[in-house]
Chains A and B, each alone.
Chain A
Amino acid sequence: MSTFLGMPTTAPRGVGHLRGDESFPDAARKALGNEQLRRNLAHATTTIRGKSGAVIAELPDWQELRSAGSALKAATMARLPELLERLEENVTAAGGVVHWAADATEANRIVTGLVEATGHRRVIKVKSMATQEIGLNEALEAAGIAPVETDLAELIVQLGHDKPSHILVPAIHRNRTEIRDIFLREMPGVDPALTDDPATLAAAARRYLRETFLSTKVAVSGANFAVAETGTLAVLESEGNGRMCLTLPDTLITVMGIEKVVPTWRDLEVFLQLLPRASTGERMNPYTSMWTGVTPGDGPQEFHLVLLDNGRTAVLADEVGRQALHCIRCSACLNVCPVYERTGGHAYGSVYPGPIGAVLSPQLTGVADNASLPYASSLCGACFDACPVKIDIPSILVHLRNEAPHPRTERIAMAAAAYTMDHPALYARAQHAAKLSRHARRLPRPLNGWTASRDLPQPPPETFRDWWAGR
């Protein structure tokens, strides 16, 4: 017997980074005016696409791997509550402590409380989408705790008082001169003669971060995967900063979205092949760190796992949209998206940009709070083909558009168009009326977007059906 607790709630307003300040078209318009940004994005996405495409082509069973990843995720979502309880049991048995956070506010409160209990005022952070989503850094800062991002790109974003614009390459919108300027302005102890040579910039970050790693006693991470049957957490990364954070401090706090659980250890075999190839275009990521609870005398002696819902149960309740929870945060869909390539990530207003953001953010917040995002796509389908776990993003976009609130004038126009098209005689009359637009070079709103940069086709002297009737 179970008690019905009501429909699951969406992510709360006023905390975290799932909602933008303006609609996608407005934000995109500004981003499109930034030539530097567009060049950076085109270069970066083209490079990653090429690398990823080459290593994917090496695998004869890539399509089977995708199907396996998709099936594993679908099977996981079908018994998520049971798997999460299993995970809790095994993490607890291994010496960890599991916390359940219904939303961003609760997760921030739990993590802040845990850090305060250690008595330390600084934490090092492994790059994590979940903690970005809930705005953990702001919550920690408000409590007088300094979070230090240790992933190079996240550090650039943090020092620049900026927002990430890509899931994998958060500083994709910055070039090296901008990075040098940010370091000179913000990095403690930086060499004032710093140049914009990439190796020199990396060395400056390395020196600063090493000092921080060695002097900080608490770390906060996310997780790529959590194995229910063993209670093992996994983080995949490239720079080794994650390994430092996960092994050096006394206390480790991991914030993980509930959808990251996988049933068994052997399931990782599929995802550890899919993720690096789809993500960074590597056969294998340089660092894969796995830990199970606490090991006496080795690594952090206190481990907390915070399981975050923040709207995910609401997503799970949607039969079409729930596959967005299969996402393994590889960002392949961003790199192939013609919209993302031109607007960049900030236009999406959420920490989850690109095609996956356009389906995930509106579901986490409720579609009314991100109503323009499902429309931020030409439905070209490149994301679906690129997704290593076969998330049918175009179908979810179409589904969410159907759920989104529509402007009143559009509703009236659409109803009128449908009525006309369901009455062939009216339709034929409307076809003839279309000829009146013959000499229009600029259309009125909301059609002026077309004529701003494209001519209208010249209506033909007769429609096809007229020609057919006269044959």
Chain B
Amino acid sequence: MRIALFVTCLADTMFPAAAKATVTLLERLGHEVVFPPGQTCCGQMHINTGYQKDAFPLVRRHVRTFAPYDVIVAPSGSCVGSVRHQHAMVARNAGDLSLAARAEDVAGRTYELSELLVDVLGVEDVGASYPHRVTYHPTCHSLRMIRVGDKPLRLLRHVRGLELVELPAAEQCCGFGGTFALKNADTSAAMLGDKMRHVLETGAQMCTAGDASCLMHIGGGLSRLGSDVRTVHLAEILAASEAS
């Protein structure tokens, strides 16, 4: 299958390992990955901070960039959530009904990584090997906005050597929330404190999730604590094999 990678601006700029792993994984499963070059950012930060007018050209750019592709994947539940639940709204609010229709069309072909693997490609065992003790944080947008359910866990359970430990209060937000972490930094830090406590309680070596943004938040907190627990994107675990 020919799959267009929507890399997301954060993975592209700060966490390319997650994006490279997505490519490695899909190619190992026998698919062709293409990278539409005009892509930048989906505009979620602008939309969620109250700048829909500024987000409009980004939505238009995203829709134009990805319109030619049948299957689009992103290593992020949050960015897929924005594409699926916000892009058409931004276009409608700007009075561009034609863009809204095209945005809905693109959204219908856009998948978060675990959705693509389980729902579209029909695979749960991706042939990965990752001999570590890992806990999984279900990010809010993957859980409640696009409803990936237990797909990431089903994928993780098939990874050779991986010991999956359950995260207490897993479904509580880590406190990131985009610009929330800046505008309400103290509340965000209090939420992060509880999330880190739960991660550390598991005794896991790694905390994984389907969003680089939440991992940047949890990882930044753990690093400040001086903890040696690391954060790793779900794609990186699924791309790891005995050969690698």
Contacts and interface: CB of A to CB of B under 8 A. Distances in A.
Interface of A: 24-25, 28-29, 32, 38, 338-339, 342-343, 372, 374-382, 384-385, 395, 398, 400-404, 406, 410-411, 414-415, 417-418, 421-422, 424, 427, 431, 434, 446-450, 452-457, 459-460, 462-465, 467-468
B30 interface: no
Given A380-B173, A414-B51, A456-B220, 8 more contacts: A28-B184, A434-B13, A434-B14, A454-B192, A454-B217, A454-B224, A463-B13, A464-B13
A379 B171 CA distance: 13
B101 interface: no
Interface string B192-228: 1100000000000000000000001101110110000
Contacts of A25: 183-187
B41 A431 contact: no
Contacts of A379: 48, 140-141, 177-178, 180
B170 to A, nearest CB: 12
A333 to B, nearest CB: 13
B184 A464 contact: no
A160 B166 CA distance: 43
B220 A454 contact: yes
A465 B9 CA distance: 10
B65 to A, nearest CB: 10
B220 A401 contact: no
Interface stretch (B16-24, B106-114, B127-135, B151-159): B16-24
Nearest to A418: B54
Interface in B65-107: 85-86, 93
Contacts of B224: 453-455
Nearest to B172: A338
B229 interface: no
B12 A32 contact: no
Contacts of A406: 50-51
Contacts of B190: 32, 38, 342
23 contacts: A32-B186, A343-B187, A375-B179, A375-B184, A379-B178, A379-B180, A401-B50, A404-B50, A414-B54, A418-B57, A418-B58, A421-B9, A422-B40, A422-B61, A424-B38, A424-B39, A449-B182, A454-B217, A454-B220, A454-B223, A464-B20, A467-B16, A467-B20
A431 B12 contact: yes
Contacts of A378: 140, 173, 175-177, 180, 188, 191
A68 B2 CA distance: 43
B15 A457 contact: yes
Contacts of B40: 421-422, 424, 427
A447 B188 CA distance: 13
Interface residues of B, number: 69
A39 to B, nearest CB: 12
Interface of B: 7, 9, 11-17, 19-20, 23, 35, 37-41, 43, 45-52, 54-55, 57-58, 61, 85-86, 93, 140-141, 143-145, 171-173, 175-193, 216-217, 219-221, 223-224
Contacts of B16: 460, 462-464, 467
A459 B181 CA distance: 19
Contacts of B46: 414, 417-418
A71 to B, nearest CB: 21
B220 A450 contact: yes
Nearest to A376: B184
Contacts of A375: 179-180, 183-184
Nearest to A392: B85
Which A-B residue pairs are the 10 nearest by beta carbons?
A: A449-B185, A378-B177, A401-B50, A454-B220, A381-B144, A380-B173, A418-B54, A464-B16, A380-B140, A455-B223
Given A462-B16, A463-B12, A402 B50 contact: yes
Nearest to A414: B51
B16 to A, nearest CB: 4
A450 B185 contact: yes
Contacts of A404: 50
A437 to B, nearest CB: 10
